Chains A and B, each alone.
Chain A
C-alpha cells in the first residue's frame, strides 16, 4: 500500500471515529417526535360502528425534547445516521474510487430502480389501470372514496395487452413482439411532441420575436430602453438563426451576421454555465448544511 493511501485511510478512519465520538458525547444527531393520536370511526353504514385508533408522529426540533408528549424516535435517528453515512460515502469519491463509494453506489442503483417501480405501480398501474378496469374491486381495496357509478372502461384492455407484450422482452424467445408496444410508445411520443414543440417552441418563440424596433409611449415620446431591448432581441435571434442556417456558405455579409450570432450564443452558454454551477453549488451547500446542521448540530 502506498504511503499516501495509508495516511488518507488513517485520516478518514480517525475522522470518522472523531465524528462519532463527538456525536455520542454531545448527544447530537438525535431526532425527536411528537405523538399525534388518530381516532377514526368506521365509514360503513351497514356494519356496526367501530373505532380505530393509531398514532402518527411529527418531527420536532431538538430544543423541544423536554416538552410533554415529545419522545426520541429510534427509526428517524437511525435514518439520520444512515443519510449522513450515505452522504460521506459518496463524498469519499473525491478522494478516489473506493469500496465505501461502490457500496453506496450499489445501494443507490437498487433503491432508485425499486423506487421508480413502486411509484409507477401506485400512481399509474393501480390508479389508472386497475381502477379503470375493475372499479368495484378497486373501491373495495385501495380507493373506498371512488364514486359508485363508475363502470369498467374496457378500452384500457389495450394498454394492458400492450404492457404485457412490452414485458415479453424479458422472455428468451419471441421478444420481437415487444416492438409493438414500443412502436406505440414511439408513435405517441412523435405525434404529441411534434405538435407541442411546433406550437410552443417554434410558433411561440417566433411570435414573441416579432415586435416593434422602435417603441413609443402613450404621449408619443420614444422609449429608448424598450426600443434598444427589442432591437437586441430581434437582431440576436436573427443572427443566431443565420448561424444555424447551413444551406448557404457563411461568406461575405452572412459570415459577419453568423459571427454576431455566435457571440449571442456564447453569452447564452456563459449564463447557462454559471447557472449550472450555481445549481450544483446550492446542492452541495444543502448537503453540507445537512451534515453540519442537522446531523452534527454545529
Chain B
C-alpha cells in the first residue's frame, strides 16, 4: 500500500498520458489530466502554506533565534491571505452587481491588489535586482582569460553586453559604411558592436543552444521512463517515514 500503489498510480498515469499523444480519440484525457494536475498544484500551495505555518509556529514556540521575524512572516501571511480570500475592497462585476462576490480578486484598488502592487512586486523585483551587483562582482573576480575557452567566453560576453547598450554607439558608431576591400562585400560598419552582437545571437549561439536542448530532451525522456518504470523511486521517500 505504501510503495506499490504509488508506483502503480504513477506508471498508469504516465503511460496513459503518453498513449493519448498517439491516439487522437483520447486526446481529451490528456487535457483532463492537465486540469487535475493544475488543481493538485493549487492544493500543493496550500500544503506549502500549511508547512510554512507549522515551521514558523515551531520557531516562535521554541523562541529560537530570530523568532520575531517568524512572527512578522506569519502576520504578513495571514493579512495577505485574508484580504485575498475575502476579496476586501473588491467591487462586484458591473454586469451582475447583486452578486457581491462576482468581482475580480485582483481588481485595481482592492486590498489584495495593494499588497501585490506595493509589497510583492517591489520586493521581488528588488531581490532579483540585487543579483546585478553579485553577478557583476563574481564576474569581475572569476573572469580571467586563462585559456582559449575562457577567452572566448569573455570576449563574447563583452561584445554582447556592449552591443546591447549605448556603449556600442559610443565606441563603434563612427565606423563608416564603406567596403574594406575593393567594391562591395564586407564594410567597416559590419564590425559595429551592435551588429556583431546580433550576428553572435543569431548564428553562433544557435548550435550550442540546440545541442543543449537536445541533451535536455534526452535527459528528460530517460528520467521520465526511469520514474514510470519504477527504477527511480526517490520521490517516494524512505520506508521509515510514517
| Interface, chain A (partner B; CB < 8 A) | 38, 40-44, 47, 50, 52, 54, 56-57, 75-76, 78-80, 82-84, 86-87, 90-91, 93-94, 102-118, 120-125, 128-129, 140-145, 155-156, 158-159, 162-163, 166-167, 169-170, 172-176, 179-195, 197-198, 200-202, 205-206, 208-209, 229, 232-233, 235-237, 239-241, 243-244, 261-278, 280-281, 283-284, 286-287, 290
| Chain B CB within 10 A, most for which of A173, A184, A271, A278 | A271
Q: Which residue of B lies closest to A42 (CB)?
A: B98
| Interface, chain B (partner A; CB < 8 A) | 2-3, 5-7, 9-18, 21, 30, 32-52, 54, 66, 69-70, 72-81, 84-85, 91-99, 101-102, 105, 108-109, 112, 114-133, 135-136, 139, 148-150, 152-161, 164-165, 200-201, 203-218, 220-221, 223-225, 227-228, 235-237, 241-242
A194, B98: Cβ atoms under 8 Å? Answer: no
- Which residues of the partner chain A approach B133 to less than 8 Å between Cβ atoms? 94, 284
- Which residues of the partner chain B approach A124 to less than 8 Å between Cβ atoms? 38-39, 41-42
A209, B210: Cβ atoms under 8 Å? Answer: yes
For the complex, what is the distance from the CA of A176 to the CA of B3, rounded to whole Å? 9
Measured CB to CB, the closest approach of chain B to A26, in angstroms, equals 21
B208, A268: Cβ atoms under 8 Å? Answer: yes
Measured CB to CB, the closest approach of chain A to B214, in angstroms, equals 5
Secondary structure of the B contact surface, majority rule = helix
Secondary structure of the A contact surface, majority rule = helix
Q: Count A-B pairs with CB separation below 8 Å.
A: 430
- Which residues of the partner chain B approach A266 to less than 8 Å between Cβ atoms? 149-150, 152-153, 156
Q: Can you report 26 A-B residue pairs in the complex whose CB atoms are below 8 A from each other?
A: A76-B114, A80-B118, A91-B126, A113-B48, A113-B49, A116-B45, A118-B112, A120-B43, A125-B43, A158-B36, A159-B35, A163-B40, A170-B54, A179-B6, A181-B40, A182-B235, A187-B14, A190-B227, A191-B16, A241-B211, A265-B211, A267-B204, A278-B161, A278-B165, A287-B122, A287-B126
B75, A194: Cβ atoms under 8 Å? Answer: no
B42, A125: Cβ atoms under 8 Å? Answer: yes
B76, A277: Cβ atoms under 8 Å? Answer: no
